[in-house]
Amino acid sequence: MRSVRAKAALGATLVVAVALVAAGAAVLWVLRDNLLGRADLEARLAAREIASQVAAGRAYGSLELPDREQPVQVVDEDGRLRAASEGLEAVTGTGSADVTPEPGPSPTGDDDDDRDDDHGGRGDDDDDPGSGEVSEDTGTRSGTATVDGETAAYRFASVEATTPRGETVTVHAGAPLATEQEAVGTVRTAMLAGLPLLLAVVAAATWQTTRRALRPVEGIRRSMAAITASAGS
């Protein structure tokens, strides 16, 4: 009977273990997906806000960029970096590894390199450059950024914008994944720490339940053994 109880306890423990692992994986996946969605939204909002500044004709050097926790790149259609957040030393996941902006014309053309045209001066269009437009998001992806010597994981959103001069640029803005990683890690650690204790409780409970369920059978077995012994004597 002891072997029966052991097999029952082992079987119940394995079934519960599989169920708990599956449930835990599902919880971690949902948690991670929700936190990634929040990071994506944060990155998109930052990218669109900067793209709106570019579309309005603001000079690249005077763009209001987020703080150091959100790395930013503004890349033109030729792949040249026009603006970058302060302290950015390295970046991956944006399609451009450049961190040092290159000099170039401002979104409205109000710079020394672009003052002269075929008429010998600034044209009427430059006096009233109008405004550009912000296009749809071009997607989000995971990457890394090194800011002030510290490398961390980020979700980068990319938004295209057209300047008043008709130049197309892509704004890449990142949102840190530190909160997502910490939350998922904490939940995973808690699950792994509690799993052995829970399985031990399940095994003990199954053992006791099986023992009580088989107690009448054990009594019958003893009675039969006693009868057999009496008949033999």
The residue extents of the domains of the chain are 1-233
Q: Which carries the bigger pLDDT value, residue 207 or residue 110?
A: 207
pLDDT at 71 over 90: yes
Whether this model's pTM surpasses 0.85: no
Q: Lowest mean pLDDT: which of 82-86, 144-148, 166-170, 186-190?
A: 186-190
Conformation bin of residue 208: beta by default, left when phi > 0, alpha when psi is -120 to 50: alpha
- Quote the mean pLDDT of the chain: 79
| pLDDT interval class at 221 (50, 70, 90) | low
Confidence class for position 90, pLDDT limits 50, 70, 90: very high
Q: In the prediction, which pLDDT does 120 show?
A: 37
Find, among 68, 43, 30, the residue nearest to 142 by Cα: 43
The tokens for 14 are 């394995």
Q: 83, 60 in Cβ contact below 8 A?
A: yes
Whole-number pLDDT of residue 196: 82
Average pLDDT over residues 83-111: 82
State pLDDT tens for residues 30-46: 888 888 889 999 999 99
Which of 67-71, 128-132, 154-158, 182-186 has the least mean pLDDT? 128-132
How much is the pLDDT for 53?
93
Task: Give me the mean pLDDT over the 183-206 stretch.
Answer: 81
Count of Cβ atoms closer than 10 Å to residue 94 Cβ: 23
Q: How far is CA 159 from CA 43, 173, 229, in A?
A: 10, 9, 89
Average pLDDT value for residue range 94-116 = 68
Across the range 58-85, mean pLDDT stands at 90
Mean pLDDT in residue range 190-196: 81
% of the chain at pLDDT higher than 90: 29
Burial of residue 190 (CB within 10 Å: 0-12, 13-18, 19+) is exposed
pLDDT score of 21: 84
Give the H or E element holding residue 52: helix 2-55
* β-pairing verdict for 150-162 and 168-176: antiparallel
Q: What is the pLDDT of residue 68?
A: 79
